Amino acid sequence: MVRNIQLRVSLKEEGKFGLKGKTAKYLGVSESEIEIKVLRKSIDARKPSIYFNYKLEVYINEPMPTAKDYTFDYKDVSKAKPVHIIGFGPAGMWAALRCLELGYKPIVLERGKNVQERRRDLKAINQDHIVNEDSNYCFGEGGAGTYSDGKLYTRSLKRGDVRRVFESLVHHGATEEILVDAHPHIGTNKLPKIVQNIRETIINYGGEVHFNTKVTDFIINDNELKSIVLGDSKEMEVKRVILATGHSARDIYYLLHKKKIALKAKSFAMGVRVEHPQQIIDSIQYHCKGERNELLPAAAYSLVHQVKGRGVYSFCMCPGGFIVPAATAPGEIVVNGMSPSKRNNRYANSGMVVEINADVDLYKYEKHGELRGLEYQKDVERLAFTSGGRTQAAPAQRLTDFVEGNLSEDLNPTSYQPGLNSAPMHSLLPKLIGSRLRTGFKEFGKKMKGYYTSQANIVGVESRTSSPVNIPRNKQLEHPEIKGLFPCGEGGGYAGGIVSAAMDGERCAEAAISNL
């Protein structure tokens, strides 16, 4: 007998009975009579009494099926027609995997290094303040997603099969917990191995993955992409190219702009990282004064408020995480956040950003045309570099000092390895961003009592939330002017995270092989 039930379990009951014991008690049977499959799990901490909400499939006096819901039929494509993929982040990886299933040979060209070799360059930027322009937290195997929290939440439910992407991650080494958690994540400590497994799948089935291979030019005849030029001036003939270079590959935008290939300025968001001791966020969200219950994960939050016609909102919130330097060139400061799988660091951080309307807010940058958002982004990052002390040390301020307009005499401890320098962020940030953030933080302090505190730092700048440029494409996902070019993922302006980029990669692979 099989029962589908929804069960609400208090924190006390979870600790006393365990899920299986509570389920057996609820159904009036013994634990030995049942097997449980958890379909969904979430936490309701809106009131002082905290509950776990479960959606369960319960097998009573019969074994639980072991067959998987999804299988992946990868084919030997060693002698198949090629599809070239530029970039090996989530969009490029899942485009390549989909090519294997469809019987086409993915040839991946990645400017950066593999996950193992990338680590040296991450160490260099953290400890020695040296930025390698082709190997950093954004570029290299797995893209910006490899050394990230691995958050898998997406709103792009109509763009593809979300479950399929999750199952693919499990197939390549992720835990099955991501299939049931309401807000699933993998962790920066586990993602590199999963990324490596995906690469090995591609190679084992006849695909190719080339590292340290930067595309520097496109050869176009009669509005059709004929070949690509690599950094060593080698020319490679192509039929179909999936362009999945990510939101930070500015050289690609400059190249397309120089060749007069259509681009569009795109709205985006910029701001800062705010970092609290995790215990403060736990005490607010879980209504506790001391350490949180061991059954509860590090608490997260989501905040949004409208200020002067623009949204101010939290972005990429990382419980139990750390802030990292995400610059992709010398002379700029960019910060991002991530967490390990256990989310057991002492600090919680989140991007706190302001919407920027590229058509209204950037009138001083009109001379840059469709690249106006990119140039605005660069100017703010350069300002952060200067105010931070011209190293990868980031400009920072206590949260209350930022809102009240005071220079911080000292700063709170931080997870950011390159270090922080006290700076008057309240006057350095463009008014468009700074004034709205100050109002937003006051409002967030009203929504979360204790959030607005001098024990938190703001760290600048969080500037790479999404691409400031859109590479247009038609209904067939092909560039409207250049036949054979398929803009994809975050770099094209069509995704906003690991899952949405992966789904877009699959769709672009399907489109690229059409009529090939």
pLDDT at 48: 85
Question: Could you state, in order of their start, the residue ranges of all structural domains in the chain?
Answer: 2-60, 82-261+468-513, 267-362+375-462
What is the DSSP secondary-structure string of 283-328?
A: HHHHT-SSSPPTTSPPP----EEEETTEEEEEEEEEEEEEEEE--S
- pLDDT-based confidence at 47, cuts 50/70/90? confident
Rounded CA separation 84/107 (Å): 5
pLDDT at 406: 97
The answer to whether residues 459 and 420 touch, using CB atoms and an 8 Å cutoff, is yes
pLDDT at 349: 97
Average pLDDT over residues 163-173: 95
User: What does the pLDDT look like over 400-443, one tens digit per residue?
Assistant: 999 999 999 999 999 999 999 999 999 999 999 999 999 999 99
Question: In CATH, what is the architecture of 82-261+468-513?
Answer: 3-Layer(bba) Sandwich (3.50)
pLDDT above 90 for 457: yes
Rg (C-alpha) for the chain, rounded Å, is 24
pLDDT above 70 for 155: no
The answer to whether residues 214 and 230 touch, using CB atoms and an 8 Å cutoff, is yes
Q: Angle of helix 372-388 relative to helix 250-258, nearest 10 degrees? A: 140
Average pLDDT over residues 130-147: 94
pLDDT at 159: 66
pLDDT above 70 for 156: no
pLDDT at 158: 61
- 84, β-bridge pairs: 107, 241
Task: Give 289's DSSP letter.
Answer: S
User: Which of 25-39, 157-171, 220-234 has the weakest average pLDDT?
Assistant: 157-171
Rounded CA separation 468/242 (Å): 20
Q: Which residues contact 192 (CB under 8 A, 6 or more apart)?
A: 115, 116, 142, 146, 147
Amino acid at 142: G
| Average model confidence (pLDDT) across the chain | 95
Taking alpha carbons only, the member of 401, 391, 442, 444 closest to residue 424 is 401
The answer to whether residues 476 and 77 touch, using CB atoms and an 8 Å cutoff, is no
If you classify domain 2-60 with CATH, what class do you get?
alpha beta
User: What does the pLDDT look like over 363-382, one tens digit per residue?
Assistant: 999 999 999 999 999 999 99
Half-sphere exposure at residue 180, Cβ-oriented, CA atoms within 13 angstroms: 16
Q: In Å, what is the CA distance from 292 to each residue of 11, 233, 289, 422?
A: 11, 58, 8, 32
Do the domains spanning 2-60 and 82-261+468-513 agree at the CATH topology level? no
pLDDT above 80 for 332: yes
pLDDT above 90 for 291: no
Strand, helix or coil for residue 481: coil
pLDDT at 412: 98
The answer to whether residues 61 and 33 touch, using CB atoms and an 8 Å cutoff, is yes
- 68 token code pair: 């998987």
The answer to whether residues 448 and 435 touch, using CB atoms and an 8 Å cutoff, is no
